[in-house]
Structure 1
Amino acid sequence: MTRYLFTLLLCVQFSFSQSADHLNTILKQLKLNESQIRIELFTEKILPYDKNKSVLVIPKYASDIEEGSFVLDAYILVIDNVTGKIIYKFIEPNAWTSDALILTDITIDTGLYYLNKTTRAFGIRADYRTQSQPNPFSETNLSLYIVEKNTLKPVLHNYRVYKYGGEWDMKCDGEFEDIDSTIDIDKLQNNNFNNLIIKTKITKTENTFKNDDCDSKETIKKETTKLIFDGKQYK
């Protein structure tokens, strides 16, 4: 057990060190300083289908921080893992805003997004939440990116795949709604790209204080929709 924990610790330290090295190398290429980015939201992930490359998300401040709120430019990069050289780059100004709705996390999604026989996308998820206890709210937005003609381009922009919200008296009485979507790939195509099938589960919960107990009633509904590629993006 001791040997296993020691090995695990070394792997974590190596991964952290490698990530830090990549960040320093990338910032030099972008001519940015670490003080210009929201370091706790920086993320990096090796592409499982091309382990010589990694995706990096550099969240650069687009404006000054004001009373806890900030706006970030999105630097979405694909790099060579050996040299740290940027291979593909996409920059979206003012991509994320953290204000009353707080940006808490950015993650890289390397799911099986096969958009046609030769094109696989990767995703970037942005998580938000509020600090309100009587009116809790959170959501996750997904963007998809592909490499096309040696250029990194977005094909799905900030599509909401998760939403949770409600209102309650902080004791029992209240109503909540949980909306959770997953993406399947359709066999049918438009403009040479497979349609995206959005399967959504909507769970509504109503809590009522009755007979000295908090009674909960839950209803579930399922919906299916499609997103179609218009030649530039999915809509």
Structure 2
Amino acid sequence: MKANLFILLFCVQFSFSQNTDHLNTVLKQLKLQEKQINVQLFTEKILPYDKSKSVLVVPKYATDIEEGSFTLDAYILVVDNATGKIISKCVELNAWTSDALILTSITIDTGLYHLNKSTRAFGVRVDYRTQSQPNPYSETNLSLYTVNKNVLKPVLHNYNIYRYRGEWDMKCNGEFEDNDSTIDIDKLQTNNFNNLIVKTKITKTKNTFKNEDCVSKETIKKETTKLIFNGKEYK
């Protein structure tokens, strides 16, 4: 048992050390100090279709933290895993704000975003939520990026793919709505990029207190929309 615990702690410590080393390497190249970034929101992931490279998201403070609110610049990087050298980068100023709507996490999405035969995008998902209990709200926004000849470009900007909201008396009575979207790749193209088919499942729930019981009524509908590449980005 002790041996297994030691191995687990060693693996966790080794993994954290690796991530810290990678972060420190890119910060030196960017001429940034660790205190200038939100370390808790920093994330990185190896590209499954090119394991010699990783995507890093470095959230740099664009403003001072005031009563828990702040704005972040987004440094989206592709780095060489062997050396930590930045191969390509995209900097988006004032990309994300955490205020009444709290930015809780940033994750890298390496789904099958094949935009044409030679272009595969990766995504960055940003999650938000509120602290309100009677009026809960959360959302996830997705951005997509492509790399072509070491040039990193955003092609989809903060597109809402998940939203949950509600209003209730914190006992039973209330209404809630859950919008959950997935993205499929269309066979048809516009400006040499495949169209994106967004399929959204909308679940509405109404709770009513009746006969000393909380009764829920749920309705579900589905919607489909299409995003088209205009030569610069998907709209």
Matched, 1:57 2:57: yes
* CA deviation after TM superposition for structure 1 residue 17, in Å: 1.2
- Separation in 1, partners of 2:172, 2:143: 36
TM-score w.r.t. length of structure 2: 0.97
- Separation in 1, partners of 2:60, 2:121: 23
Structure 2: give runs of 5+ residues left out of the alignment. Answer: none
- Separation in 2, partners of 1:121, 1:2: 44
- Separation in 1, partners of 2:35, 2:102: 20
Matched, 1:196 2:221: no
- Separation in 1, partners of 2:218, 2:2: 46
Distance 1:8 1:27, change over 3 A: same
* CA deviation after TM superposition for structure 1 residue 12, in Å: 2.9
One-letter amino acid matched to 1:16: F
Q: How does 1:22-171 map to 2 (within 5 A)?
A: 22-171=22-171
- Separation in 2, partners of 1:183, 1:3: 45
- Separation in 2, partners of 1:176, 1:124: 27
- Separation in 2, partners of 1:51, 1:191: 29
- Separation in 1, partners of 2:2, 2:106: 33
- Separation in 2, partners of 1:18, 1:135: 40
Q: Secondary structure at the match of 2:40?
A: helix
Question: How many residues in Structure 1 have an aligned counterpart in Structure 2?
Answer: 235
* CA deviation after TM superposition for structure 1 residue 4, in Å: 5.8
- Separation in 2, partners of 1:231, 1:166: 38
- Separation in 2, partners of 1:3, 1:119: 46
CA RMSD of aligned residues (A): 1.2
* CA deviation after TM superposition for structure 1 residue 7, in Å: 4.4
Q: Secondary structure at the match of 2:54?
A: strand
Deviation digits for residues 77-99 of structure 1 (CA, Å, limit 9, x no counterpart): 00001100000000000000000
Percent identical across equivalent pairs?
81
Structure 1: give runs of 5+ residues left out of the alignment. Answer: none
Deviation digits for residues 57-95 of structure 1 (CA, Å, limit 9, x no counterpart): 000000111111000000000000110000000000000
